[in-house]
Amino acid sequence: MANNNIEDRLKTTIEYGQQALRDEAQAILDLIPQMDRNFEKAVDMMFHCHGKIIVTGVGKSGNVGAKIAATLASTGTPAFFINPLDVYHGDLGVMTSDDVVLALSNSGQTDELLRFIPMVLHMNVPIISMTGNSESLLAKYSNAHILVHVEKEACPLNLAPTSSTTAALAMGDALAIALMTIRNFKPRDFAQFHPGGELGKRLLTTAEDVMRTEDLPIIPSDMSLGKAIIHVSKGKLGLGVSLDDNHKVMGLITDGDIRRAMEKWQAEFFNHSVSDIMTREPKMVSAKTKLSEIQRIMHQHKIHSVLVTDKERRLLGIVDSYAASAM
């Protein structure tokens, strides 16, 4: 009986959690019909801002604002978060008339935020507000007001900021995505703002940074396939590269090529040479090819290695899938 009670309570808590997710998902979907020309105006103001986007808010709205500022800054729009309470202790000095303020408040009536607004207006700094009340004082003070109204919080008491903060966070993402699109923000731009992250490494790392240059599995084109098996195995890359006298790439064989040749020729297999099965136009890249492009080539052609060559097809190194994914 006790176990049944535990299972019943567990099932109930899962249902509570699922309902919370449904409520918050619906709150985000309900934002779509609320978007109007004010959203366009806000994006235009931020796009043409010659200074910084100064995001501000108090309490939970402040937490959301800090995340929005971080997202904007990492996607090409200079932005940072400032607590309006800190303005009274000198932080107002960071603001100029070239900036734009993005102020968040679910009620639009937050006292600490409203006391900060007159200072902003005095400096002729334009204001974008994001609230759940279009009739609020903050909305009326703003040059553009983005309505983020939710019917109810996911909180069963309808008190704790849940759906409202999720909706505000999503609207902040919508602003950032719109700005990214207008700026034609590319993966390489993202990498510049995230040089230490995985994406940044893939977009900034080149073939010469990861390629293997020593003990390369070089095999003559006239080598018998029986001997080639041994060289491919010792190379530990699952391939062998054939070069001419000038170290230019003539072709490549893989362990897969060898297996298929054995199935095809069977007893005659040992009578054939590397030149009979090698790929004469293997995938080659330059030393400056980005790792992200190498990964794309490997995925597109379903291969595990690419050859790194100079303009004359001279072999410089090999990048295998392990090296490409290790960064």
Token pair of 160 as six digits: 């704790």
Q: pLDDT for 145-184, tens place per residue?
A: 999 999 999 998 988 999 999 999 999 999 999 999 998 8
CATH 3.10.580.10 fits 207-326, yes or no: yes
State the pLDDT at residue 74. 83
Token pair of 91 as six digits: 């932080």
Other CB atoms within a 10 A radius of the CB of residue 51 amount to 14
- Label the pairing between strands 239-243 and 249-254: antiparallel
Token pair of 158 as six digits: 């309808």
Residue 47 near residue 183, CB atoms below 8 Å: yes
- How far is CA 257 from its chain centroid? 37
The type of residue at 209 is D
Q: Where are the domains of the chain?
A: 2-185, 207-326
Asked whether this chain's domains 2-185 and 207-326 adopt the same fold, the reply is no
Q: pLDDT for 70-103, tens place per residue?
A: 999 888 899 999 988 776 655 666 788 899 999 9
* Helix (DSSP H) and strand (DSSP E) numbers for the chain: 14, 10
Residue 73 near residue 80, CB atoms below 8 Å: yes
Q: What is the chain's Cα-based Rg?
A: 30
Q: Any residues with CB less than 8 A from the CB of 105 and at least 6 apart, and which?
A: 57, 58, 61, 113, 129, 130, 131, 136, 138
Residue 46 near residue 128, CB atoms below 8 Å: yes
Question: Rounded to 10 degrees, what is the CA torsion of 161, 162, 164, 169?
Answer: 110
> In this structure, what are the phi and psi dihedrals at residue 219, rounded to the nearest 5 degrees?
-135, 140
223: number of CA atoms within 13 Å, CB side?
Answer: 22
Core vs surface per residue 83-107: b (16+ CB within 10 A) or e: bbeebeeeeeeebeeebbbbbbbbe
Other CB atoms within a 10 A radius of the CB of residue 82 amount to 22
Count of residues for the chain? 327
Distance from first CA to last CA of the chain, Å, rounded? 53
pLDDT tens track, the chain, 327 positions:
555 666 666 668 888 999 999 999 999 999 999 999 999 999 999 999 999 999 999 999 999 999 999 999 888 899 999 988 776 655 666 788 899 999 999 999 999 889 888 888 888 999 999 999 999 999 999 999 999 999 999 998 988 999 999 999 999 999 999 999 998 877 666 666 655 555 566 667 889 989 999 989 999 999 999 999 998 988 889 999 999 999 999 999 999 999 999 999 998 999 999 999 999 999 999 999 988 889 899 999 999 999 999 999 999 999 998 777 655
Mention the CATH class of domain 2-185: alpha beta
Other CB atoms within a 10 A radius of the CB of residue 246 amount to 8
Other CB atoms within a 10 A radius of the CB of residue 242 amount to 25
State the pLDDT at residue 48. 95
